[in-house]
Structure 1
Amino acid sequence: MTSGGETGPLPLHSVSVAGVVVRDDGRVLAIRRADNGTWEPPGGVLELTEALEDGVRREVFEETGIRVGVERLTGVYKNVSRGIVALVFRCRPEGGAERLSDESTAVGWLTPSEASGRMAEVYAVRVLDALRDDDVPAVRAHDGRHLLAGSRRTRARDQETPV
C-alpha cells in the first residue's frame, strides 16, 4: 500500500505491551534493562496471535518473576523515531517472587518518586499515568527520549490538557 505518490510500502509499526504493577503500598515494579541499563516498567513486543492482556502477563512474568492481574489500559505511547506503539496497563501483583532474567539486571519495587527519578521521561510518565484514578487512557507521542509537544493526557468528559 502506498500513499501520496510514494512508490514503496509504508513503514510498519510494532506493538509492545507493558505493565505498571502497583502494590497495596503504592510501590511500582520496575526493571533495570540488561541491554541499556535504563529503568522501565516491564514489557516487550506483543506476539502476533497473543491477546493484549496475555502479552502483559507473559512479559511481566518473564522479566520479573511476578504474576499479575491486568486491571485496565492506562496509556498508548508512540515512539515516532522507532515506529513502536506501546500499550501500557495498570496491573496488580498476584504471586511469584522477584527474580532476574536475561532482560533485567535488577528488579525492584519503587515509590512513584523513585520511579520518576530513575526512569527516562518517556517511561516515568507511563508510571504516573497508570497511577491516576481516572479511567481515561493517556495518548502520547515521543521521540524515544522526550515527550513531543502536543502530547496529551485525555481526561474524563473529553477535556484535554497539554503535558
Structure 2
Amino acid sequence: MPTPEFVLALREKIGHAPLPLIGVTAVVFRDEKVLLGRRSDNGEFAPVSGILEPEEEPADAVAREALEEAGVVVRVDRLAWVHRLPRTVYANLDEVDYLDLVFRCTWVSGDPYPADGELAEVGWFGLEELDGVGPDHRRRIALALAEDDPTRFEGGRWTSSPAA
C-alpha cells in the first residue's frame, strides 16, 4: 500500500522533518501458530503492521491492516505492548518517530495471502519456527503470546516504580 494521503499532505507542509506517527502491529494466532509475512520492502518476516489513520480507533486499525495486508479477519483480543521505535529515516530522507501499539489477535476467517503487495508471502508459522524472525518481532510475539498478561509499557523514567 502506498504512503497514506494524510502523511503525504503533512509532508507537503513539513518536508523531511521528523513526523510522529502511531503504528499498529497485529500478532495473530491460530491454534499454536502465528501469522507472519515476508515484507516486500526489506524481506524481513514480521507480523502484520501499519499506520493508524486520522480518527481511527487503534483496534479497528489493526483489524483493517490484517485484512488489507494478509486477507484475514481477526478478533482483536488485547493490547500487549506500547513502545517507541528508534527514529526511521527513509531513502527519500523523510524522518518518522513511530509509537507502536502491539495487539494480540485471534484468527477468525480467511486464508492468508499477500493481499495488497506489502507482503511478498504470508502464512502460519509454529512458535518453534521463528529463527528467521528478528529479535524485535520475536519480542512482539512473546509479549502477545500470554493471553492474560497486562500490557507492557517501555520506559519507566516517569513512573514511581521500576519497569518490570
In 2, Cα distance between the equivalents of 1:133 and 1:15?
24
Percent identity over the alignment is 36
1:97-108 aligned within 5 A:
97-101=111-115, 102-108=117-123
Task: Write the distance in 2 (CA, Å) between the matches of 1:80 and 1:35.
Answer: 18
TM, length-normalised to structure 2? 0.75
Cα contact 1:112–1:128 (8 A) shared by 2: no
1:122 counterpart = 2:136: yes
Q: What secondary structure does 1:50 align onto?
A: coil
Amino acid at match of 1:28: V
Query: How far has the Cα of 1:124 moved from its partner?
Result: 1.0
Instruction: Structure 1: give runs of 5+ residues left out of the alignment.
Output: 1-9, 142-149, 151-157
Q: Which residue pairs with 1:153 in the alignment?
A: none
| Shift of residue 12, structure 1, vs aligned partner | 4.1
* Consecutive unaligned residues in structure 2, runs of 5 or more: 1-16, 89-96
Equivalenced residue count is 136
Contact in 1 for aligned 2:81/2:151 (Cα 8 Å): yes
In structure 2, the residue matched to 1:136 is 150
With a CA cutoff of 8 Å and minimum separation of 6, indicate the structure with the bigger relative contact order.
2
C-alpha displacement at 1:118, in angstroms? 1.7
- 1:137 alignment partner AA: T
Distance 2:73 2:26 in 1: 11
SS of the residue 1:100 aligns to: coil
Q: TM-score, normalised by structure 1?
A: 0.76
C-alpha RMSD of matched pairs (Å): 2.2
Q: Does 1:23 align with 2:30?
A: yes
